[in-house]
């Protein structure tokens, strides 16, 4: 009996060692430390943290690092509160420049701009400190939300699907049925779907190219069959190039999703029933909740080594191992936390607008760059204060426990 106990204890000890080794290897690959001044005074014990989550498409196509998922997570271990704030990708923000010139862009471009500073030589990333890859992104998000961003975690969607599969999928209660007939197939964005000849003829007249109207009219007089193809290529690309897209259909009610299906669920934005960035942001929050529930199950522990192996090449972060240990220590008390979910949208503090170059953008309702009203709205939500009614209907924040 004693021998069996010793062998069992040895197996458990070996498993623990393997976990620790794998976690250490995992962090060496994804962790970018923030330099600390050794002469600085000791940092007092903290109870509040703000973590920025960035999700980007990955791959090798144009827009690889556009962060169409931007979520700020606020944790308060003393008050047992968690706050999940989603920001739309079309939010129009001002970036600092060395010359002092006005430079604005959509919020989903900041991380990519920061990763490739040579493409934007006038960008003043040093204003934010330049301590990590996402320091400027953290700086701007702090100004917008009023929440000082401590750390970031950027994840390639490829790792997202793998993580969901390693966990055995997720269970999501789809709020409403929707169909998206224009979901882009990865790697097919430039496929001509065997319509090379037609495309070659109409390509000079496709936006954003500047063309001569007389030349366009001449082509369509001589080849009227190209008229409908040109219209579709301009207005309904899913009809002109059907091989670039797939049709998605989600029925309302509980569903078990694998990684690929979950990714489509949170990235779809062209549905007539549940489309747009705001609906997509709410689905993203719903998926994070489903993942949280999955991680808190007993069956998660044996899957940890495989999960770390899958994620190590697709995640970047400056969250320290010590802070991760602190968060892990709170997992057993996760049920005590009250979670508030909020999506900034044109139903609360934002309004649609157009940039000078014609882009669809979102700005604060009380004027461009007026983030004070946005910060107050977020602060009130965190404090449990019912926000003052805005000039349009407001989505109430979702509170769960």
**How many residues does this entry show for the chain?**
401
Is residue 317 domain-shared with residue 297, that is, in the same domain?
yes
- Rounded Cα distance, 377 and 373, in Å: 6
What share of the chain in percent tops pLDDT 70? 79
What share of the chain in percent tops pLDDT 90? 46
* Residue 47 confidence (pLDDT) above 80: yes
Is residue 159 domain-shared with residue 258, that is, in the same domain?
yes
- Rounded Cα distance, 367 and 349, in Å: 10
CB burial class (10 A; 0-12, 13-18, 19+) of residue 1? exposed
Q: What is the mean pLDDT of residues 377-391?
A: 77
* Residue 335 confidence (pLDDT) above 90: no
**3-class secondary structure, 35:** coil
- Distance in angstroms between the alpha carbons of the first and the last residue of the chain: 45
Of residues 372, 367, 371, the one with CA closest to residue 353: 367
Is residue 171 domain-shared with residue 222, that is, in the same domain?
no
Lowest-confidence pick of 134-143, 238-247, 329-338, 339-348 = 329-338
Is residue 222 domain-shared with residue 119, that is, in the same domain?
no
Lowest-confidence pick of 267-271, 370-374, 396-400 = 396-400
The CATH number assigned to the domain holding 354 equals 3.40.630.190
Is residue 254 domain-shared with residue 227, that is, in the same domain?
no
Angle between helices 2-30 and 304-311 (to 10 degrees): 20
Specify the DSSP class assigned to residue 304: H
- Rounded Cα distance, 316 and 132, in Å: 10
Of residues 302, 307, 276, 279, the one with CA closest to residue 291: 307
Is residue 222 domain-shared with residue 94, that is, in the same domain?
no
> Quick one: tokens of 1?
């009996």
- Rounded Cα distance, 105 and 86, in Å: 18
Chosen domain end from 240, 259, 274: 240
Specify the DSSP class assigned to residue 385: P
Could you tell me the pTM of the whole model?
0.77
Q: How are beta strands 81-86 and 338-343 bridged, if at all? A: parallel
- Rounded Cα distance, 279 and 345, in Å: 10
Lowest-confidence pick of 151-155, 316-320, 348-352 = 316-320
Higher per-residue pLDDT: 302 or 219: 219
When pLDDT is cut at 50, 70 and 90, the band that residue 367 belongs to is very high
* Residue 35 confidence (pLDDT) above 70: no
* Residue 60 confidence (pLDDT) above 70: no
CB burial class (10 A; 0-12, 13-18, 19+) of residue 22? middle
- Quote the pLDDT of residue 149: 94
Torsion of CA 175, 89, 318, 166, to 10 degrees: 40
- Rounded Cα distance, 314 and 86, in Å: 22
- Rounded Cα distance, 25 and 169, in Å: 25
Chosen domain end from 216, 240, 264: 240
- pLDDT tens readout for residues 95-117: 988 898 999 999 999 999 888 88
- Rounded Cα distance, 13 and 18, in Å: 9
Is residue 147 domain-shared with residue 273, that is, in the same domain?
yes
Is residue 289 domain-shared with residue 360, that is, in the same domain?
yes
33, part of any domain: no
Average pLDDT, the chain: 82
Chosen domain end from 201, 223, 240: 240
Is residue 156 domain-shared with residue 295, that is, in the same domain?
yes
301, part of any domain: yes
- Rounded Cα distance, 199 and 206, in Å: 10
Question: Could you tell me the residue range of the domain that residue 224 belongs to?
Answer: 192-240
Of residues 292, 320, 321, 323, the one with CA closest to residue 47: 323
Higher per-residue pLDDT: 165 or 309: 165
Lowest-confidence pick of 61-75, 166-180, 185-199, 262-276 = 61-75
* Residue 37 confidence (pLDDT) above 70: no
Contact (Cβ atoms closer than 8 angstroms) between residue 105 and residue 96: no
Is residue 395 domain-shared with residue 340, that is, in the same domain?
yes
Neighbours of 271 (CB within 10 A): 21
Higher per-residue pLDDT: 17 or 132: 132
């Amino acid at each position: 009996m004693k021998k069996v106990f010793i062998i069992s204890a040895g197996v458990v000890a070996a498993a623990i060692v393997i976990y620790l080794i794998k976690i250490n290897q995992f962090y060496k690959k994804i962790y970018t430390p923030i330099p600390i001044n050794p002469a600085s005074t000791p940092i007092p014990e903290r109870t509040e943290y703000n973590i920025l989550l960035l999700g980007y498409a990955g791959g090798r196509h144009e827009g690889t690092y556009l962060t169409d998922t931007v979520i700020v997570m606020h944790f308060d271990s003393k008050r047992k509160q968690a706050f999940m704030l989603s920001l739309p990708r079309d939010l129009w923000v001002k970036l600092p420049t060395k010359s002092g010139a006005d430079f604005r862009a959509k919020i989903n471009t900041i991380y990519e701009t920061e990763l490739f500073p040579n493409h934007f030589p006038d960008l003043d990333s040093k204003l934010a400190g330049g301590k990590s890859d996402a320091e400027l992104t953290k700086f701007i998000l702090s100004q917008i939300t009023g929440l000082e961003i401590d750390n970031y975690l950027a994840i390639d969607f490829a790792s997202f699907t793998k993580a969901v599969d390693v966990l055995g999928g997720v269970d999501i209660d789809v709020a409403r049925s929707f169909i998206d007939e224009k979901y882009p197939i990865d790697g097919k964005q430039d496929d001509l779907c065997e319509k090379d000849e037609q495309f070659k003829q109409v390509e000079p007249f496709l936006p954003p190219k500047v063309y001569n109207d007389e030349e366009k009219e001449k082509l369509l007089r001589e080849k009227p069959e190209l008229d409908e193809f040109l219209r579709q290529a301009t207005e309904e690309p899913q009809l002109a190039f059907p091989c670039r897209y797939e049709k998605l259909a989600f029925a309302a009610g509980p569903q078990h999703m694998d990684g690929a299906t979950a990714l489509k669920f949170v990235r779809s934005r062209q549905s007539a029933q549940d489309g747009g960035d705001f609906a997509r942001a709410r689905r993203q929050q719903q998926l994070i909740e489903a993942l949280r529930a999955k991680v808190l199950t007993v069956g998660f522990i044996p899957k940890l080594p495989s999960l770390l192996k899958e994620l190590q090449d697709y995640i970047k972060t400056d969250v320290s191992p010590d802070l991760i240990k602190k968060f892990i220590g709170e997992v057993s008390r996760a049920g005590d936390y009250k979670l508030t979910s909020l999506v900034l949208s044109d139903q609360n503090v934002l309004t649609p607008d157009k940039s000078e170059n014609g882009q669809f953008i979102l700005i604060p309702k009380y004027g461009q760059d007026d983030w004070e009203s946005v910060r107050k709205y977020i602060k009130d939500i965190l404090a449990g204060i019912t926000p003052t009614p805005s000039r349009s209907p407001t989505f109430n924040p979702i509170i769960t426990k």
